[in-house]
Amino acid sequence: MATKLVSQQPSSEPPSGPAIAVRNLRVKYGEREILHGINFEIAAGETLVILGGSGSGKSTLLRTLVGLERPSGGEIWIRGQDFAAMSEDERDGLLKKMGMSFQGGALFGSMSVADNVALPLREHTELDESTIDIMVRLKLDQVGLSGFDNYMPAQLSGGMKKRAAIARALAMDPEILFFDEPSAGLDPIIAAGIDELILKLKKAFRITIVVVTHELASAFLIADRMILLDKGVIVANGTPRELQESKQPRVRQFMDRVPEAEISRELDYLQMLTGDIPPQRQ
Amino acid sequence: MALTDSIGSATITGLAYVGELARLTGGAARAVFIEPFHGHKLRLGRAVHQAMAVGVEAIPIVSLISFFVGMIFGLQSAYQLRKLGALQFVADAVAIAITRELGPLMTAIMVIGRSGSSFAAEIGTMKVNEEIDALETMALKPVHFLVAPKFLAMILMLPCLTTWADFMGVTGGALFGVSSAGFTWASYFNRTLDALVLRDVTTGLIKSVMFGVVITAVGCQEGFSTGLGSEQVGRSTTSAVVKSIFLVILVDLVFTALFYFTAPR
């Protein structure tokens, strides 16, 4: 029962090339608008990193792209189809071609690793158990978790949980992969391992990858293109090099890790987070 | 002025909540009864697993509680009946009270404590861990996947548990009757069977199915509406138990009144 959303301008033809195209996207939580008209495209096979600080709206953007939040305005075109105007069956069909790896892994705690990875296959395909078993072992091998089939998620370390989550996201051989903070909470060595894995997936499968992160080192390693979100708007959109060399103050502040001016009043803090009024500056 | 405001808004909130429950129940019922004919089969394995947890594992505690309640009711009714020299009616009193009311109600309360809370805790924890979101991104509907098996298990298990509770309750009354009210085991059970009409048992079972629906709906709804953080899971669980008990008793009142006013004279 998805209803077609009315965008601010008359909607144009669906783009033929890009895997994902976002036009004038607006998202609200209740009365508060979090994203104020986002526009960007991701080409097929490209890896896009969405950077931003806390409160920038990057998690909201990711959640909207995978259908967990409804836009209040604008359009999302995925593989040439209008995401918001699809019927439920079409939406399900599209979701089966996308995979998402959540920040904490979001593995189902009551099932083993193998059952977690097998779940999409068991629910969406008519494959028999022995085939599913082979596919699960294949995916676990791809992420470096061979032999951990019968472990429960609670028995895994943080890095291993992420890998298992990636294996599950890969179960249906998706065309688009989404990562929410893949390095969050991991020590640098393990985080580097996850970056390696993402690069490996990029090279081997040429999938379109969208990563939300605030870890600059990882971002520069894996990105073909980056966008920087600040308070719900895109302030930069380009190759890693272009962002690195940008002279814009907000971009420089993010890249050079310059701390925010001291916010000492509660009202200023709230305004900074919601982006209603710029914070006081010296 | 403020009092009428709060009564008004509380009523609206309450009605909205019941609406949410109805929506959830409708979705679950659809998944159980209609979707299998449209090709989306219900994974019976999960339903069986739930039925084991909800029903089979509750048998010991339900047996004990119903047995004690039967004895308690025997004692309380005998307290009045002996003044009229009518102790032989203890068997009738216990039988009718247990099958029509106490059997279903006590069973429901035990199931709320065991399963209603665990539904809320399970789903609430999944919500906090983003597992519900993960299901949605995998094109699996949480209502089909999580709620429907619980719903099927409840509506099947609760009547079964209630029937067993009815038997245990009567047995508890029998123990009292045999020891202190001049019955023999045989005479007590015979009197019980004479006193009962099929309608007594069936009204109790219909109520138990309705209780099952309420318990599932409230437990799952509280789980789904859990806020972020483990403290919220505890809050949801408490809320599920309290709201379930209230709604079960409300539903009990509605159906008891219904059965009273539609009873053949």
Confidence of residue A247 (pLDDT cuts 50, 70, 90): confident
For B246-260, the DSSP string reads HHHHHHHHHHHHHHH
Specify the pTM: 0.86
User: Is A92's Cβ below 8 Å from some Cβ in B?
Assistant: yes
Q: Which residues of B touch A110 (CB under 8 A)?
A: 122
Contact A95 B137 (CB under 8 A): yes
pLDDT of residue A276: 60
Contact B134 A100 (CB under 8 A): yes
Tens of pLDDT, residues B60-110? 999 999 999 999 999 999 999 999 999 999 999 999 999 999 999 999 999
CA distance A63 to chain B (A): 9
Contact B129 A104 (CB under 8 A): yes
Q: Determine what percent of chain B falls in helix, strand and coil, rounding each to the nearest 5.
A: 90, 0, 10
pLDDT of residue A50: 94
Contact A103 B130 (CB under 8 A): yes
Place of tokens 């006013």: B261
Contact B139 A95 (CB under 8 A): yes
Contact B126 A103 (CB under 8 A): no
What is the three-class DSSP state of A4? coil
Place of tokens 């409840």: B154
- Which residue is closest to B145 within chain A, CA to CA? A123
pLDDT of residue B238: 96
Contact A109 B130 (CB under 8 A): no
Interface test mutation site (partner B, options A119, A162, A166, A177, max chain B beta carbons within 10 A): A119
pLDDT of residue B2: 85
Between the alpha carbon of residue B208 and those of residues A51, A200, B50, B160, B161, the distances in Å are 54, 56, 17, 9, 9
What's the mean pLDDT in B137-157? Answer: 94
What's the mean pLDDT in A265-277? Answer: 69
CA distance B135 to chain A (A): 9
Q: Work out how many CB contacts closer than 8 A connect A with B.
A: 47
Place of tokens 């009210």: B181
Contact B139 A96 (CB under 8 A): yes
Interface test mutation site (partner B, options A89, A91, A108, A170, max chain B beta carbons within 10 A): A108
- Distance CA(B6)–CA(B12), nearest Å, equals 10
- Distance CA(B91)–CA(B190), nearest Å, equals 9
Q: DSSP state, A156?
A: S
Partner-chain residue, chosen from B129, B137, B145, that has the shortest CB–CB distance to A66 = B137
Tens of pLDDT, residues A22-65? 999 999 988 888 899 899 999 988 999 999 888 888 989 999 99
Residue A6 has pLDDT above 60, yes or no: no
Contact B138 A91 (CB under 8 A): no
Asked if B196 and B96 count as a contact pair (C-beta separation under 8 A), the reply is: yes
CA distance A95 to chain B (A): 6
What's the mean pLDDT in A123-133? Answer: 91
Asked if B220 and B123 count as a contact pair (C-beta separation under 8 A), the reply is: yes
What's the mean pLDDT in B187-209? Answer: 94
Q: Report helix angle B230-261 to B198-224, nearest 10.
A: 150
- Distance CA(B238)–CA(B200), nearest Å, equals 33
Chain B residues with CB within 8 Å of chain A CB? 122, 125-126, 129-131, 133-134, 136-140, 145
Q: Which residues of B touch A100 (CB under 8 A)?
A: 134, 137
- Counting residues of chain B whose pLDDT is more than 90, the rounded percentage is 90
User: Is A14's Cβ below 8 Å from some Cβ in B?
Assistant: no
Contact A106 B133 (CB under 8 A): yes
Q: Residues of A numbered 45-74 whose beta carbons fall under 8 angstroms of chain B's beta carbons: which are they?
A: 63, 66-68
Q: Which residues of B touch A106 (CB under 8 A)?
A: 129-131, 133-134
User: Is A273's Cβ below 8 Å from some Cβ in B?
Assistant: no
Q: Which residues of B touch A173 (CB under 8 A)?
A: none
Contact B131 A95 (CB under 8 A): no
Q: Report helix angle B185-195 to B148-180, nearest 10.
A: 130
- Which residue is closest to A119 within chain B, CA to CA? B138
Q: Which residues of A touch B145 (CB under 8 A)?
A: 123
Residue A99 has pLDDT above 90, yes or no: yes
Confidence of residue A9 (pLDDT cuts 50, 70, 90): very low
Lowest-pLDDT choice from A255-259, B83-87, B158-162? A255-259
Asked if A52 and A215 count as a contact pair (C-beta separation under 8 A), the reply is: no
- Which residue is closest to B132 within chain A, CA to CA? A106
A84/A5: higher pLDDT: A84
Which residues lie across from A101 on neighbouring strands?
Answer: A179
Which residues lie across from A208 on neighbouring strands?
Answer: A176
User: Is A158's Cβ below 8 Å from some Cβ in B?
Assistant: no
Interface test mutation site (partner B, options A88, A94, A100, A122, max chain B beta carbons within 10 A): A100
- Which residue is closest to B139 within chain A, CA to CA? A92
Written in H, E and C, the secondary structure of A161-220 is HHHHHHHHHHCCCCCEEEEECCCCCCCHHHHHHHHHHHHHHHHHHCCEEEEEECCHHHHH
pLDDT of residue A14: 46
Contact B138 A95 (CB under 8 A): yes
Tens of pLDDT, residues A129-138? 999 999 999 9
Q: Which residues of A touch B229 (CB under 8 A)?
A: none
Residue A257 has pLDDT above 90, yes or no: no
CA distance A229 to chain B (A): 23
